[in-house]
Amino acid sequence: MKITQLEQPADAIFIEYHGAFHEPLGWFQGEAKLRARLPLVAEHEVKQFRIKLGKASAEEEKTAEK
């Protein structure tokens, strides 16, 4: 994962993530079961990341106010 602070807009970040998946023939008998679910997994992971980022940002704001 790589996170880059963007110059414009100033409050934006760019997040790059790479993943690799392998579907062994012995596990799935040649069916693309993981591939079919990847969009759902990606959507879930993005939502979870946003929640965690929001919580971390809120905590940082609380700490900065003290």
pLDDT of residue 15: 86
pLDDT of residue 24: 81
Q: List all residues 6 or more positions away from 16 whose beta carbon is below 8 Å from its beta carbon.
A: 1, 2, 3, 4
What tens digit of pLDDT does each residue of 11-55 get? 898 988 887 777 788 887 878 777 788 889 889 988 998 899 889
pLDDT of residue 5: 93
pLDDT of residue 21: 74
Predicted TM-score (pTM) of this structure: 0.57
pLDDT of residue 53: 86
Q: How many domains does the chain have?
A: 1
Give the range of the structural domain holding residue 22, as residue numbers without chain letter.
Answer: 2-65
When computed from its CA atoms, the radius of gyration of the chain, rounded to whole angstroms, is: 18
